[in-house]
Amino acid sequence: MSFVPMTITVERAATEERKAAHERVARLARPAFGLVVPVGIALLWEAAVWAGLSDGRLVPPPSTIFATLSELAATGELSRHVIATAARVAAGFALGVVAGTLLGAIVAASGLMRRLLDPTLQGLRAVPPLSWVPLFILWLGIFEESKVALIAVGCFFPVYLGVLGSILSVDRKIVEVGRVFRLSTPALIRRILLPAILPAYVVSLRAGLGLGWMFVVAAEFMGASEGLGYLLIDGQQLGKPAQIIASIVVFAALGKLTDAVVASIAAPFLRWEDAFGARR
């Protein structure tokens, strides 16, 4: 009879170990599951071209695109263009995040600043991205400064709106509870305001980063001699649809990769969330 509790303990430990192993496998397989749709579409299109349903001239099959990427990678062109584009996005994203965070917090904290600045910023938000191009070229020239400035504008507005909206939507009752417990202003910000705005802030960062990758194409149309946007223009001018689609594929991969990096960095700070999507 003395062996019964020990047997139950061993069986429970084995069950928990199998459950943990299953969760690890599921966590590793979840990102791969997202490749089902693009890989399936690629295989279907490859099969359609192979079967003669399309000549694959204007929309090349994945094998041709892969060969183009391999050729660009072998010559070193791909890495050079990727590094140039990524550096521009990183610089513009950093500037846009800093400006959007500070200005969003200032406008949200003061009713006077909100009435004074927010209408102008909301109006500027509606200006089409390409409208800034000639102005930035006049102000900053055609080199890197104008490109980074354009990307920063694209990243600024989602972050500004995210910070402003999340601060203004904090439940007043939670703040009043903090004041009842006589929390100091720094403690109130750290323990109540920051956790309340952090989920929306992370979403705004991801939205700003996505717009940064969009705006870099317009930025690299401004006389760039390297970058993925330059590859797009070069492919258009020389009639290379495979190069155009290869550039788009690289854009998509880089955008997804950087978005995953931001999400993974933010994840430890959002473990307290008991959100609907967190368990799915």
pLDDT digits (tens, 9 = 90+) for 215-245: 998 888 777 788 898 898 888 888 888 999 9
Mean pLDDT of all residues in 191-217: 88
Q: CA quadruple 179, 183, 185, 189: dihedral positive or negative?
A: negative
Contact 85, 229 (CB under 8 A): yes
Q: Does a structural domain hold residue 46?
A: no
Query: According to the model, what pLDDT value does residue 19 have?
Result: 67
Contact 214, 34 (CB under 8 A): no
Q: Does a structural domain hold residue 99?
A: yes
Q: Does a structural domain hold residue 247?
A: yes
Residue 146's domain spans which residues?
76-279
Average pLDDT, the chain: 83
- In the predicted structure, residue 179 carries a pLDDT above the cut 80: no
Q: Does a structural domain hold residue 173?
A: yes
Question: Would you place residue 1 in the very low, low, confident or very high pLDDT band (cuts 50, 70, 90)?
Answer: very low
Give the Cα separation of 31 and 256 in Å (integer). Answer: 11
Taking the alpha carbons at both ends of the chain, their separation in whole angstroms is: 42
Q: Does a structural domain hold residue 42?
A: no
**Consecutive H or E run containing 237:** helix 228-237
pTM: 0.82
The CATH number of whichever domain residue 137 belongs to comes to: 1.10.3720.10
Question: Would you place residue 21 in the very low, low, confident or very high pLDDT band (cuts 50, 70, 90)?
Answer: low
